[in-house]
């Protein structure tokens, strides 16, 4: 596989994981696996700078906002934290910081437990809560104010007086173990899928459309920082800031401590590890923060993601030993054959584990994992456990090395290994396993959102011969449904309504739902915004005109072209259109927009627009936003404190405009 293909694959895997985690609250891979993919992509991009792209997940702070809730642009980005897994990594962090700002060694540190919940930003205007939002991408989150207002821990008005005019309080919303267990018990009774961990349950509760559901979950919060947008604070240290937050009425992490040096912090790390095991909420480490606030600006932020003034000291995940009973293979919707382990059930972090992912045959061979082996399994507070390694006992006979079957386990089609590919694929588009997965994906919450249409029901509809593909969903009738087993009038009503409703989903979700290989959610949004309608996309795809679109690399472009060139796919799309499924994107870039074909660069702080707002305006007018200035740049939009990009623009004679001019060009002012 070429480095470009490798990067495309990693990006797709990471995007998929991001979406499963942040938008669907249903993670598909473990944090450890995610970190591994992420680091691999970072290393690849470092080695091949030509592969770097502003759309790469490495350039993003976090998740993508989902579609149902209103977006909220944070005034200051919500950052993430770098990790240290050992005392050495912690010491190296201080050394790196000290080279930049020698005073850090004398500034003292504050430590707090790292709460494993979901980050929120609470905007207070003159001491009153006006907006509460999720983190989302770190730049744009979702407005969940009514839900956050149901959390008793969150003051609606700050206690005391003389608050800065405008602030964003940052904290972590979490669900204590007791509430988590209760919520899952209730879900079990209702036959709803269980939350994998308290973190996902908290995120799910926050993103409800009905605040009463949020209220019933009994979420809690710990506040940990403040961003002052307008006004000032007299605090000099992070510990004082936590005291201030407490005086305003926020719960702050009760196990916080201040230490004079990193050496002292290290001496107490073990205590934190023991403490965490006893807490009544999920925690996954200790956050170490430079205490002296004036140093934060000087220390700065790495890659726009991680501030240097804080680091998360993580603890090793819990490990268990068990027996590998079998290796089975699941067929995904793209035909990918995914091997997984059947384990002798074992308890890890209070959960019974009986399956683990094995990723691909090379990984199994590299780790030399064989059926019958005793294996070490980890689960770090997350859903899918991993096999770390086999525990080889001398003199104990082992089985044969495992071989991936040469045929699809569902339809028997041969699945030869393609040179350079880690995965094998079932090539049969009518393979029952692929069809099932494809329809479930189409109906899933992140795509066409047909509520109530999960595996069991799709399987039943396929078995009954009512559907063979996604277009068939739109011809199912109420009369057909009520005749099926396990359907009452009400469930038939609900499914018919959900299918009808799905016709209104935006084009981006339709494209994503079609399951075109390599087209993840982000690529689907880019394509939908760029072309506006499915017909326009189809024309461009067939004419092979997808190259050159930012964020759409050759692997994706070829895959989309191949999809539209397949006559069966075109028939399917025609049937979806005839059924009345929406084929347009609400926020599409207009091809004849005021800025169509133009490339703009943003620099400095604009007086009223945030970065993401300015980007959306430019893109909706048909333009493109690039990250650096070149001769091809049509204009640079410069705000306050514009830096080297402005100098470069002057040097190259590129036009420089201000926000007012940008607004005029996109038709937002006269």
Residues marked active site are found at: 114
Nearer to ligand IVH, 170 or 457 (CB): 170
Judge contact between 7 and 27, C-beta under 8 A: no
x/- letters, 262..301, toward ligand IVH (CB under 6 A): -------------------------x--------------
Q: Which two tokens stand for residue 428?
A: 């049969």
Among 225, 505, 508, 561, binds ligand IVH (CB under 6 A): 225
Q: What is the DSSP letter of 207?
A: T
Quick one: 288 or 510, whose CB is closer to ligand IVH? 288
CA distance 649 to 602: 11
Using CB under 6 A, which of 168, 172, 373, 585 touches ligand IVH? 172
Closer residue to ligand IVH, CB minimum distance, 306 or 634: 306
Cα distance between residue 279 and residue 166, in whole Å: 34
Does position 312 interact with ligand IVH (CB under 6 A)? The reply is yes
| DSSP secondary structure string for all residues of 343-407 | EEEEEETTEEEEEEE---HHHHHHHT--TT-EEEEEESSSSS-EEEEEEPPTT----PPP---SB
Is residue 253 a contact residue for ligand IVH (CB under 6 A)? yes
In the region spanning residues 642 to 661, those forming contacts with ligand IVH, defined by CB under 6 A, are none
Beta bridge partners of 258: 110
Residue 418 · residue 360 · CB < 8 Å:
no
Binder to ligand IVH among 195, 224, 425, 564 (CB under 6 A)?
A: 224
Least distance from ligand IVH to the Cβ atom of residue 246, Å: 14
Minimum CB distance to ligand IVH, residue 396 (Å): 41
Contact between 353 and 346 under an 8 Å Cβ cutoff? The reply is: yes
Six-digit token pair at 210? 């009905």
Q: How far is the CB of 168 from ligand IVH (least distance, A)?
A: 11
The counts of H helices and E strands in the chain are 23, 22
Mark residues 117-156: x for contact with ligand IVH by CB under 6 A, - for none. Answer: --x-------------------------------------
Q: Which residues of 393-429 are buried (b: 16+ CB within 10 A; e: fewer)?
A: eeeeeeeeebebeeebebbebebeeeeeeebbbbebe
Q: Rule CB under 6 A: is residue 382 a binding residue for ligand IVH?
A: no
Looking at 25, 31, 112, 619, which residue binds ligand IVH (CB under 6 A)? 112
Q: Using the rule CB under 6 A, give the single segment among 74-82, 530-538, 597-605, 613-621 that binds ligand IVH.
A: 74-82
With binding defined as CB under 6 A, does residue 619 bind ligand IVH? no
The helix (H) or strand (E) run that includes residue 223 is: strand 220-230
Instruction: Give the integer Cα–Cα distance in Å for 408 and 315.
Output: 40
**Nearest to ligand IVH of 124, 296 (CB atom):** 296
Q: How far apart are CA 444 and CA 609, in angstroms?
A: 35
- Per rule CB under 6 A, is residue 115 in the interface with ligand IVH? yes
Applying the rule CB under 6 A, the residues between 351 and 370 that interact with ligand IVH are none
Q: Which is nearer to ligand IVH, 204 or 438 (CB)?
A: 204
> Closest CB to ligand IVH belongs to which residue?
119
Give 375's contacts (C-beta < 8 A, 6+ positions apart). Answer: 321, 322, 323, 324, 341, 343, 369, 387, 388, 389, 390, 391
Per rule CB under 6 A, is residue 310 in the interface with ligand IVH? Answer: yes
386 binds ligand IVH (CB under 6 A): no
| Distance in Å, CB of 130 to ligand IVH, minimum | 21
Would you tell me which residues interact with ligand IVH (CB under 6 A)?
Answer: 79-81, 112, 114-115, 119, 172, 224-225, 253, 287, 307, 310, 312
């Amino acid at each position: 596989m070429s480095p470009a293909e490798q990067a495309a694959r990693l990006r797709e895997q990471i995007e998929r994981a991001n979406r499963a985690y942040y938008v669907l609250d249903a993670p598909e891979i473990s944090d450890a696996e995610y970190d591994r993919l992420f680091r691999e992509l970072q290393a690849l991009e470092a080695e091949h700078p030509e592969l770097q792209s502003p759309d790469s997940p490495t350039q993003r702070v976090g998740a993508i906002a989902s579609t149902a809730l209103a977006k909220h642009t944070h005034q200051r980005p919500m950052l993430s934290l770098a990790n240290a897994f050992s005392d050495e990594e912690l010491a190296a962090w201080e050394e790196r910081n000290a080279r930049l700002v020698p005073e850090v060694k004398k500034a003292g540190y504050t430590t707090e437990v790292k709460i494993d919940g979901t980050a929120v930003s609470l905007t207070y205007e003159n001491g009153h809560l006006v907006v509460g939002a999720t983190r989302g991408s770190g730049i744009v989150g979702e407005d969940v104010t009514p839900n956050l207002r149901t959390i008793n821990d969150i003051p609606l008005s700050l206690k005391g007086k003389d608050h800065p005019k405008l602030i964003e309080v940052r904290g972590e919303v979490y669900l204590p173990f007791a509430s988590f267990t209760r919520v899952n018990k209730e879900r079990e009774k209702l036959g709803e899928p269980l939350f994998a961990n308290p973190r996902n349950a908290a995120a799910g509760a926050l993103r409800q459309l009905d605040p009463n559901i949020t209220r019933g979950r009994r979420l809690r919060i710990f506040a940990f920082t403040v961003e002052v947008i307008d006004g000032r604070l007299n605090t000099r240290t992070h510990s004082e800031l936590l005291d201030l937050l407490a005086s305003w009425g926020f719960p702050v992490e009760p196990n916080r401590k201040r230490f004079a040096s990193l050496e002292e912090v290290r001496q107490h790390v073990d205590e934190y590890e023991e403490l965490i095991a006893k807490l009544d909420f999920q925690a996954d480490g200790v956050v170490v923060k430079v205490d002296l606030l004036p140093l934060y600006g000087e220390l700065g932020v790495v890659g726009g993601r991680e501030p240097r003034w804080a680091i998360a000291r993580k603890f090793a995940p819990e490990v268990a030993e068990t027996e590998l009973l079998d290796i089975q293979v699941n067929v995904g919707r793209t035909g990918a054959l995914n091997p997984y382990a059947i384990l002798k059930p074992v308890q890890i972090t209070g959960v019974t584990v009986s399956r683990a992912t094995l990723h691909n045959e090379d990984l199994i061979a590299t780790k030399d994992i064989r059926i019958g082996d005793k294996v070490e399994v980890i689960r770090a507070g997350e859903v899918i456990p991993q096999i770390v390694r086999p525990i080889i006992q001398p003199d104990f006979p082992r089985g044969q090395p495992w071989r991936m079957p040469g045929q699809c386990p569902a339809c028997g089609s041969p699945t030869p290994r393609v040179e350079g590919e880690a995965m094998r694929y079932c090539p049969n588009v009518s393979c029952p396993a692929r069809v099932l997965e494809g329809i479930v994906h189409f109906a899933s919450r992140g795509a066409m959102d047909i509520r109530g249409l999960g595996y069991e029901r799709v399987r039943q509809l396929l078995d009954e011969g009512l559907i063979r593909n996604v277009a068939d969903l739109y011809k199912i009738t109420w009369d057909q449904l009520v005749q099926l087993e396990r359907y009452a009038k009400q469930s038939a009503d609900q499914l018919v309504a959900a299918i009808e409703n799905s016709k209104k989903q935006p084009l981006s979700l339709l494209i994503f739902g079609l399951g075109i290989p390599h087209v993840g959610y982000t690529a689907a949004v880019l394509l939908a915004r760029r072309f506006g309608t499915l017909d326009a996309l189809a024309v461009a795809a067939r004419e092979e005109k997808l190259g050159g679109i930012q964020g759409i690399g050759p692997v994706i472009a070829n895959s989309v072209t191949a999809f539209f060139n397949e006559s069966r796919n075109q028939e399917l799309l025609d049937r979806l259109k005839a059924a009345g499924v929406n084929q347009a994107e609400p926020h599409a870039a207009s091809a004849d927009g005021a800025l169509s074909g133009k490339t703009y660069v943003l620099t400095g702080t604009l007086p009223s627009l945030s970065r993401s707002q300015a980007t959306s305006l430019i893109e909706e007018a048909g333009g493109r936003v690039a990250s650096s200035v070149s001769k091809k740049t049509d204009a640079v939009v410069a705000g306050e404190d514009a830096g080297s990009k402005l100098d470069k623009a002057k040097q190259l004679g590129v036009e420089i405009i201000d926000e007012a001019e940008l607004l005029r060009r996109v038709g937002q002012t006269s």
